[in-house]
Amino acid sequence: MDKLIVEGGVPLTGSIEVSGSKNAALPILFASILLTEPVTINNVPDLRDIRTTIALLLLLGCDCGYENRKVRISPNALHPKAPYDLVRTMRASVLCLGPLLVRIGQARVALPGGCSIGARPVDQHLKGFEQMGAHFELEEGYIIGRCRKLRGAHITFDLPTVGGTENLLMAAVLADGETVLENAAREPEIVELANFLMSCGAHIDGHGTSCIRITGVNSLHGTEFTVMPDRIEAATFLAAAGITHGELLLRNCPFAELEAVTLKLQEMGMEITATADGVLAKCARPLHGVDITTQPYPGFPTDMQAQIMSMMCLAEGASIVQESIFENRFMHVLELMRLGAQIKISGRTAMVRGVKRLTGAPVMASDLRASAGLVLAGLAARGTTAVRRIYHLDRGYEHIENKLNTVGARIRREKE
Ligand code: UD1
């Protein structure tokens, strides 16, 4: 197991290229199960979750190759089983359910189980597929789904779910007739998935709104598609500029999709401007506290909650964080307190009182974004912070220490 040793206290300056979006690439890779012709997907980040997905696609019968951030996938005879060993390391594996059901009328997908940020059920996915004509049983920890031909349905989600919307969208493009998804999630990654599917011949309308209409087609053809840049990686680098009082230019930064984040960072005292070369972020003044509530897009993303909390720890005054998406997403708080942060948790609310300085210490990463928050805190802390269990970080950030070191950070990877 690797850990990152972060020597803090250096303002970051220079430019960083934002990688392709993990959360857009994953559903697009699963959507390739729907195609009857080869597909090429560009700008796919080199991450553990991507390699897990490719391993799963190979097991499901697709021919896949990954080189230079390009994935080539050719259809083949499909197998219905997504085994627990892969699904437990990456919950997004459940996204093969919709494509398998609509392509081969059966799927055998391990039930993902809990994770460190909460229960994360898949009831909304299953309810939607049942409305389209699928039946499910639970056998030895596997969801066994069967159907004849899925048919279009009018589905209203109880809550906007990103994965649920993606799974149903993928099934609906090849189902019989029209499907309407109401109270759908509106995340940019869903728009990206719809754009990919439409480039293969799917009929979709309303993606990016809470009502998506899909008219099923008989088959989808091949395409070449380039994945959008990663808005959460970009936002994490904006926070890195802020917490170190540096100046970073982010190239290939999805500025329009980051509005909720940039507004809060500006409220904290950062200057963030879109220029012809990229997004320029600097922080010349002391940070001050703000309040945030995590919400579905276009609200403040839960995937940036840990990172902005690290900034709040060093901001003047008090900040309040309400986590409204996941019930257990404050695992980073006790670790931040080991660095000297003053935070109190009450249910889904964290109250942060800014301190003058953080001091380096060994800390433990609990999930992907929490790890990023701890690296940011380490960059600003006095002395050395060792962030352990960074396999979480490697799931979602492409060579983060190399990228940060090119702009002045002092981070090295060591074996435990
Ligand atoms: C996706 C993102 C993740 C992000 C999250 C919220 C990917 C690969 N992951 O996760 O990074 O943090 O969106 O923006 O894109 N829920 C149910 N029943 C369901 C499905 C979800 O109750 O059937 C609940 C969840 O427990 C959670 C909320 O709905 O409280 C939102 O979850 P969802 O949007 O589905 O998140 P993911 O797709 O798992």
Ligand 1 neighbourhood includes 264 CB (under 6 angstroms): no
pLDDT at 157: 98
Judgement on whether residues 169 and 277 belong to the same structural domain of the protein = no
Quick one: 198 and 251 in the same domain?
no
For ligand 1, atom 29, which residue shows the shortest CA distance?
A: 161
- Of 115, 162, 348, the one to substitute when testing ligand 1's pocket (max ligand atoms within 8 A of C-beta) is 162
Pair 350, 372: CB distance under 8 Å: no
Whether 246 and 275 share a structural domain? yes
Q: Supply the range of the domain harboring residue 167.
A: 22-226
pLDDT in tens, 219-243: 999 999 999 999 999 999 999 999 9
| Domain stop point among 199, 226, 253 | 226
**Is this model's pTM higher than 0.95 or not?**
yes
Residue 320 in tokens: 């309040």
Which domain-ending residue is among 193, 226, 259?
Answer: 226
d(CA 168, CA 122): 12
Out of 90, 161, 186, mutate this one to test ligand 1's pocket (max ligand atoms within 8 Å of CB): namely 161
Asked whether 112 and 88 are in contact (CB, 8 A), the reply is: yes
| 274, 363: one domain | yes
Q: Does 175 lie in the same domain as 273? A: no
CATH number at residue 192: 3.65.10.10
CB atoms within 10 A of CB 217: 15
Helices (H), 149-258: 162-172, 188-199, 231-243
Q: What is the model's pLDDT at position 70?
A: 98
Angle at 89 between CA 87 and CA 93, to 5 degrees: 35
Pair 126, 160 in one domain: yes
273 and 365 within one domain: yes
State whether 139 and 264 are in the same domain.
no
pLDDT, tens digit (0-9, with 9 covering 90-100), for 324-383: 999 889 999 999 999 999 999 999 999 999 999 999 999 999 899 999 999 999 999 999
Whether residues 86 and 204 share a domain: the answer is: yes
Task: Assess whether the previous peptide bond of 160 is cis (omega < 30° from 0).
Answer: no
- Of 197, 226, 255, the residue at which a domain comes to its end is 226
Domains in the chain: how many in total? 2
Residues 136 and 34 occupy one common structural domain: yes
pLDDT at 222: 97
Q: What is the pLDDT of residue 116?
A: 72
The pLDDT of residue 120: 77
Q: Residue of the nearest CA to atom 32 in ligand 1?
A: 161
Task: Give me the pLDDT at residue 114, please.
Answer: 60
Question: pLDDT under 70 in the chain at which residues?
Answer: 113-115, 117-119
Distance CA 125, CA 367 (A): 23
One domain, residues 206 and 325: no
- In angstroms, rounded to a whole number, what is the distance separating the alpha carbons of residues 211 and 209? 5
CA 395 to centroid of ligand 1, rounded, Å: 17
Please give the number of the atom of ligand 1 that sits closest to the Cα of 22.
Answer: 8
Check whether residue 221 and residue 325 sit in a common domain. no
306 lines ligand 1 (CB under 6 A): no
Give the residue, by CA position, lying nearest to ligand 1 atom 3. 303
pLDDT at res. 113: 66
Task: Confirm or reject: Cβ of 26 under 6 Å from ligand 1.
Answer: yes
Instruction: State whether the Cα torsion 254-259-263-264 is positive or negative.
Output: negative
